[in-house]
Amino acid sequence: MSDVLQLTCDLIARPSVTPDDAGCQALVARRLQAAGFACEHLRFGAVDNLWATHGDGDGPVLVLLGHTDVVPPGPRDAWASDPFVPEVREGLLYGRGAADMKGSVAAFVVALEAFVAAHPRHAGTLALLLTSDEEGDAVDGVRKVAEVLRVRGQRIDWCITGEPSSKAVLGDLLRVGRRGTLSATLAVRGIQGHVAYPEKARNPIHQAMPALAELAARRWDEGYERFPPTSLQISNINAGTGANNVIPGELQVLFNLRYNPNWQAARLEAECEAVLRAHGLEYDIHWHRGGEPFYTPEGELRDAARAVLAASAGMPPEESTGGGTSDARFIAPLGAQCVEIGPVNASIHKVDEHVRVADLEALPGLYRALLERLLA
């Protein structure tokens, strides 16, 4: 069994459902310390974070970014094998986190060990940042560590995130940015009453529907460079007592915006609330800013990533800003250029999550090739 396959299996065997790291970072730290890395454990609340560095700091700072937490497996009997007992079948490694993203974490470690062994006096600083809070609220993970690094004055020039980004073949997609995410919890106040006497009540459902329809139908922009247009999606609506003869006193709505660099969160909040006010709603709203959009322009990092992925996949990669969010959204504001490179995204968060063993065994070489181009 290859080193990267064995380490991935060892990580999968630790049931690190958010925010429990379950010993994954300690395992990684032991290996990296033996390779000469300085390892710092940063625990905030129930979340574990690992900041491991190698180099004297003279030159660019390159961070490999990942997470050790996984989403819950769901019903165990729906899996063909135990989600936390890694198993190889027909060239595929099965287990929760195989693709998202314990395989990438293991590949990071193997690549880092090999690179510093070959280049003990490499240029700049090489770092690994891991968290156990990527799949959850993302409050005490990379968001908090990034603030610590900012206060320390820690510069980051380049960041490579190991999220599963490939589409069909390892290296066929290079993610060069991500949309911002903004979530709202809206409560529209009405007056409860009997449905037979609507003049004595105020139905918050009826009042809110035109405003919600306007927000959902709005064309926010036409996109931005490689970004798709900004979109608003209503995800939850709840009201009523359960009885069909009672006008509810309150309507609760959850919605989310995924937005490109045409916008900032504060502007979107103001635009949405202007619509609510224009429709005369009495409301309370709580906003959660999940992260601003980021975009990595042409430059040394993108050039290196493009060349390495083209060599791996046999064709130039698609360069995309699609998908959801990643923890790179917290690193980009520190001034870092960020890209995302990882295995095929076909089974993440699903029953029987898996990764191709051949892809897994190719990942350390791919990451090391990037390190060679940037820091050797």
pLDDT at 122: 95
For residue 355, what are its two tokens?
């990764």
Is 69 one of the catalytic residues? yes
pLDDT band at residue 295 under the 50/70/90 scheme: very high
**Is it the case that residue 28 has pLDDT exceeding 90?**
yes
Burial of 298 (0-12, 13-18, 19+ CB in 10 A): exposed
Handedness of CA 298, 110, 167, 324 (dihedral sign): negative
Q: State the pLDDT at residue 33.
A: 98
Per-residue pLDDT, 325: 84
Q: Dihedral of the CA atoms 340, 341, 344, 350 (nearest 10)? A: -40
Are the CB atoms for 262 and 221 separated by under 8 Å?
yes
The closest alpha carbon to 257, from 325, 354, 160, 187, belongs to 325
CB 253 within 8 A of CB 205: no
Who contacts 80 (Cβ-Cβ below 8 Å, separation ≥6)?
A: 89, 94, 352
User: pLDDT, tens digit, for every residue of 254-287?
Assistant: 999 999 999 999 999 999 999 999 999 999 999 9
Single out the catalytic residue among 48, 134, 157, 163.
134
Question: Does 232 score more than 90 pLDDT?
Answer: yes
Angle at 141 between CA 303 and CA 95, to 5 degrees: 80
Residues 223, 262: Cα–Cα separation, whole Å: 8
State pLDDT tens for residues 302-328. Answer: 999 999 999 999 999 999 998 888 999
Mean pLDDT of the chain: 96
Rounded distance between C-alpha atoms, residue 335 and residue 173, angstroms:
23
pLDDT at 58: 81
**Nearest Cα to 50, choosing from 149, 132, 160, 113?**
132
Strands 61-67 and 125-131, bridge-based pairing: parallel
* pLDDT confidence band for 15 (50 / 70 / 90): very high
For the chain, give the percent of residues with pLDDT over 90: 96
Residue 230, pLDDT > 90, answer yes
Q: What residues contact 372, with CB distance under 8 A and at least 6 apart?
A: 115
Question: What is the H or E stretch that residue 161 is in?
Answer: strand 158-161
Instruction: Name the token pair of 224.
Output: 């931005």
Neighbouring C-alpha atoms within 13 Å toward the C-beta of 327: 34
Annotated catalytic residue, options 69, 140, 250, 359? 69
Per the CB < 8 A criterion, the answer to whether 101 and 18 are in contact is no
Confidence of residue 63 (pLDDT cuts 50, 70, 90): very high
> How sure is the predictor about 175, in pLDDT bands with cuts at 50, 70 and 90?
very high
Domain 3-178+293-375: homologous superfamily in CATH? Zn peptidases (3.40.630.10)
| pLDDT band, very low/low/confident/very high, at 114 (cuts 50, 70, 90) | very high
Could you tell me which residues come within 8 angstroms of residue 346 by beta carbon, excluding any fewer than 6 positions away?
99
Percent of the chain with pLDDT over 70: 100
Asked whether residue 18 carries a pLDDT value surpassing 90, the answer given is yes
Indicate whether 294 pLDDT > 90.
yes
Q: What pLDDT sits at residue 324?
A: 80
Q: Where are the domains of the chain?
A: 3-178+293-375, 180-291
pLDDT in the model for residue 314? 92
pTM over 0.85: yes
pLDDT tens per residue across span 156-172: 999 999 999 999 999 99
Residue-wise pLDDT for 34-62, tens only, equals: 999 999 999 999 999 999 999 987 899 99
Is 253 within 8 Å of 281 (Cβ atoms)? no
Average pLDDT, stretch 110-130?
A: 97
Task: Give catalytic status of residue 134 as yes or no.
Answer: yes
- Does 3.50.40.10 match the CATH number of domain 180-291? no
Handedness of CA 13, 78, 170, 331 (dihedral sign): negative
